[in-house]
Structure 1
Amino acid sequence: MRFGLFLPAGQWPGQSPTDALRRTVALARAAEDAGFDEVWLAEHHFMTYGVCPSATVLAGHLLAATSRIAVGTAVAVLSARHPVALAEEAALLASLAPGRFLLGIGRGGPWRELEVLGTGLERYEEGFPEALDLLRACLDGRDTIAADGRFFRFGEVPFVPRPETPPPVFLAATSPASEELAARRGLPMLLGMHVGDAAKAEAVARYRALGGPAGAGHVATGLAWVGRTREEARATVREELPRWMGPGLAGHVAVDGRPRAQRDAAEYAADLADLHAVGTVEDCAAALERTCAVPDVARVVLLAECAADPSAVLQCVRSLGRDVLPRLRVPVSSRAGAAAG
């Protein structure tokens, strides 16, 4: 099991976008020092929920700013990018940092970037499988690529660079359609933090029923906050998280003006506190052990930015690395033996 830190580059009240990005870089370095295996970066446009408009650009910076930790995208929004351009960037990072770059991609939403960046609503609604297949074709080691589809059509060209080891590709799966696409393509899923372990296990079962491979190595995302008591930790998440989520979630504006129901930030924060690893060291370890038991999950990625105070977040990251993760890295047989003794 590999453990990662999820870094959405959210802009909290009183911060500038530059503050948010510098905090993200500092937390990536802290995660490496604390013993995390990976950090994963989000990509958003035109909103404070996340001020990183290119997860691959920020991934390149963090790969250079660290020495051991892997860096993934959760996600690079394929609907807003040309798949060949995204594949070129992924291949570049995989060539420069072999084994350390992980490419998580997603469909995204019907948001304004589709208009601003010129990819359009039609490609978002109907062209995602074609874009996904073209991106994967670029990364399968072939010398040249060509396309003759509905949304992408061009003659044969060389594909460079070709990394010795292509980056693994993960697909965000937060709907039955994306679960089916991941299963049909044999891709591991990025499972969202908006649901708990039981719902993640149900998604894996559906994936397997649709023909997805056993042992796919899915990614379970969640939230973690360590406090002196369970009540203190949950109170922090419930009170602090809406300060970022409320204004941030309001940034999701549909490109065609379609109405959208915006989830109440306080209600969402309370749900996350109940679903995930929020509490004492012992509470967090027990909750994460349950997540690790979800079938075919090989990675657990945690959002630990649950407060505006950078020092409090840093303390949480260090506690997760020092006090919580070592308990989960002990083999199950060893834990059982220790308990019996």
Structure 2
Amino acid sequence: MKFGLFSLMSLRDNPGGIRGVLSDTRRMVRLAEEIGFDAAWFAEHHFTNNSVSASPLAVAANMAAVTSRIRLGSAVLVLPLYHPLRLAQEIAYVDQVSDGRLVLGVGTGYQPFEFARYGTGVETRTEHFIECWDVLEQALAHGHVEYEGSFFSIPSTNLMMRPVQQPLPDLYVASSNLDVLRRLVPAGGKPFVQVGWLGSKVLAKKVADMHEVWGKAGFSHRPMHVAVQQYVHVCDTAVEALEAAERARFVARMIDALRSPHLAFEGYKVQAPLLKDEPPLEVFRDNLVIGHPHYVAERLIEEFRTLKPDYYNCFFQFGDMPIARAQRSLARFGSEVLPLIEKELGPLNQLGATEPALLRAS
């Protein structure tokens, strides 16, 4: 079992503004490294305060300079928004500058507002994604590209900049599309599953659905190594738990609003309406892993037994949560929650993996 730290990097009420969000992220990543997390993951979003991370690779390069061991991941690179040759060089650069610590998470994207402003259509995102990956794989794994497709026409090109990790960095795929999986699983792609605020029960169904899709894609003969993502907040009081739930609700409203091509703004901030049939805060709290250390440990033990993930990505600083509270939650996760889980389930670096060759110390 490997643990990751996810950073969406929303800007809501951070007293330091954009620089405050960046500073908070550095502090969380350094703490996650001290605790022993495997990787820190950075989102990609554009043009709104949903995230200040327009380039997860740029954030990863910055974090490489202030860390030494923790791996640095893109969660995820929205491939249809890139020219693949430029992206291939940036991927290789970050892997070089981090001494081979890059983890590559890729996806098709889903926000029409972003796609329209990059001059591409969300309706062709799957085909666009696959062509971009075709070029990326040639560039990263072979150092040479020659390609003719519907979206990209690339003459014979040799690339000087190659990743340290060959043939490719560790690869995760945030998609259940059959064509995407059929293309990326042979390259080592592992599914990355998350359901946002809907929480544990829906996450279990999504993982079960992914197993079904895995079989339909023709991979029943090989084990499915799945990564999941969950909101986590360690606290002591009911008031703190509901305050965390309100931060999660902010993210949920924002993400739901961004599924529309038409957004309402106040300055650069999206004015996200209530969710359709929005439940009370207590439902957000109960869906997510929010509570005192023993409760959090119990919830995670249940999820590990049900989902059997190889990778558990934790979203601690959601909704621009004040850094002191987010750091305290992460620190207590390391000092109080993880020991309780190990007491019940045994060494964490032996959980979840189905092939010994894939084990990696957490």
For the criterion TM > 0.5, the same-fold answer is yes
Give the AA of the match of 1:217: H
Q: Does residue 57 of structure 1 match 2:69?
A: no
Q: Structure 1 residues 100 and 267, CA, compared in 2 at 3 Å: closer, same or farther?
A: farther
In the alignment, what sits opposite 2:275?
Answer: 263
Q: Count matched residues.
A: 328
In the alignment, what sits opposite 1:102?
Answer: 103
In the alignment, what sits opposite 2:334?
Answer: 321
Give structure 1 stretches of 5+ with no counterpart.
336-341
Q: Quick check: 1:246–1:264 contact (8 Å CA) kept in 2?
A: no
One of 228, 244, 249 as aligned partner of 1:242: 249
The runs of at least 4 consecutive aligned structure 1 residues that moved more than 6 Å come to none
Q: Quick check: 1:72–1:104 contact (8 Å CA) kept in 2?
A: yes
Matching of residues 136-147 of structure 1 within 5 Å: 136-140=137-141, 142-147=142-147
Give the AA of the match of 1:204: M
Give the AA of the match of 1:281: P
Q: Quick check: 1:110–1:254 contact (8 Å CA) kept in 2?
A: yes
Partner secondary structure for residue 119 of structure 2:
coil
Which digits, 9 at most, give the CA deviation of each residue in 1:35-92, with x for residues without a partner? 3221110111111111111010001100111111111111111121112222221122
Q: Structure 1 residues 263 and 75, CA, compared in 2 at 3 Å: closer, same or farther?
A: farther
Give the AA of the match of 1:237: A
Report the Cα distance in structure 2 between the residues aligned to 1:233 and 1:9, rounded to whole angstroms.
21
Q: Does residue 193 of structure 1 match 2:195?
A: yes
Give the AA of the match of 1:144: H
**Structure 2 length as normaliser, TM-score?**
0.79
Q: Quick check: 1:225–1:233 contact (8 Å CA) kept in 2?
A: no
Shift of the alpha carbon at 1:120? 4.4
Partner secondary structure for residue 130 of structure 1:
helix
Q: Structure 1 residues 154 and 240, CA, compared in 2 at 3 Å: closer, same or farther?
A: closer
Q: Does residue 80 of structure 1 match 2:57?
A: no
Report the Cα distance in structure 1 between the residues aligned to 2:310 and 2:316, rounded to whole angstroms.
19
Partner secondary structure for residue 10 of structure 1:
coil
Aligned-residue CA RMSD in angstroms?
3.1
Report the Cα distance in structure 1 between the residues aligned to 2:46 and 2:329, rounded to whole angstroms.
28
One of 223, 226, 229 as aligned partner of 1:221: 229
Q: Quick check: 1:9–1:42 contact (8 Å CA) kept in 2?
A: yes
Report the Cα distance in structure 1 between the residues aligned to 2:26 and 2:346, rounded to whole angstroms.
37
Partner secondary structure for residue 293 of structure 1:
helix
Identity of aligned residues (%): 24
User: Is 70-79 or 282-291 further displaced after alignment?
Assistant: 282-291
User: Is 219-228 or 197-206 further displaced after alignment?
Assistant: 197-206
Q: Structure 1 residues 57 and 333, CA, compared in 2 at 3 Å: closer, same or farther?
A: closer
Q: Quick check: 2:112–2:121 contact (8 Å CA) kept in 1?
A: no
Report the Cα distance in structure 2 between the residues aligned to 1:329 and 1:180, rounded to whole angstroms.
38
In the alignment, what sits opposite 1:5?
Answer: 5
Report the Cα distance in structure 1 between the residues aligned to 2:66 and 2:277, rounded to whole angstroms.
33
User: Is 246-255 or 128-137 further displaced after alignment?
Assistant: 246-255
Report the Cα distance in structure 2 between the residues aligned to 1:315 and 1:45, rounded to whole angstroms.
29
